[in-house]
């Protein structure tokens, strides 16, 4: 499964900040930690801020901190901000044919399993040390 770059950056930022909700990190800190573009990350942080998952970032030196609920926020909450919802995507050519319909049913099955997985993993579960 491949995530769009924005989704991956969103997950990196949320999970890194949620490790210690008291701590603030700037977009530059996060960009350096994951070796990613600071401009793209800054945009992603604004989206996460609008969703209430992070707060801060006033001025160039302003840091961000995690403001979500570690036990309730799931990977899907972040993914849904950056990836088109399964029901919202544009219709592909050929979908109305018998073969196109059969293919759609398989793709829907995969989407449902992916969504169930992403929705079942909370930030808290993700940050638990592996036993």
**CB of 25 vs another protein, minimal distance in Å:** 26
In our burial notation (b when 16+ CB lie closer than 10 A, e otherwise), range 62-91 reads ebbbbbbebeebbbbbbbbbbbeeeeeeee
Q: Nearer Cβ to another protein, position 91 or 130?
A: 130
Residues numbered 24 to 83 that lie near another protein (CB under 8 A) are: 74
Does residue 119 interact with another protein by CB under 8 A?
A: yes
Sequence-ordered list of residues with C-beta below 8 angstroms from that of 72, at least 6 positions apart, any chain = 122
Does residue 107 interact with another protein by CB under 8 A?
A: no
Reading the block at residue 103, the tokens are 């293919």
Q: Nearer Cβ to another protein, position 7 or 74?
A: 74
Maximum C-alpha span of the chain: 56
Does residue 124 interact with another protein by CB under 8 A?
A: yes
**CB of 93 vs another protein, minimal distance in Å:** 29
Place of tokens 């399964």: 86
Applying CB under 8 A, among 20, 121, 123, 127 the residue interacting with another protein is 121
| Sites of contact with another protein (CB under 8 A) | 74, 112-113, 116-117, 119-122, 124-125, 128, 130-131
């Amino acid at each position: 499964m491949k995530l769009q770059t924005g989704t991956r950056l969103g997950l990196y930022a949320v999970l890194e900040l949620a490790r210690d909700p008291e701590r603030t990190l700037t977009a530059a800190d996060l960009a350096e930690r994951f070796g990613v573009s600071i401009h793209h990350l800054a945009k992603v942080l604004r989206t996460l801020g609008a969703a209430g998952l992070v707060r801060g970032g006033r001025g160039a030196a302003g840091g961000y901190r995690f403001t979500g609920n570690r036990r309730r926020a799931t990977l899907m909450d972040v993914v849904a901000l950056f990836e088109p919802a399964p029901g919202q995507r544009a219709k592909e050519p050929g979908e109305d044919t018998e073969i196109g319909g059969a293919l759609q049913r398989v793709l829907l099955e995969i989407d449902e399993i992916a969504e169930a997985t992403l929705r079942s993993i909370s930030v808290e579960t993700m940050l638990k040390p592996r036993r």
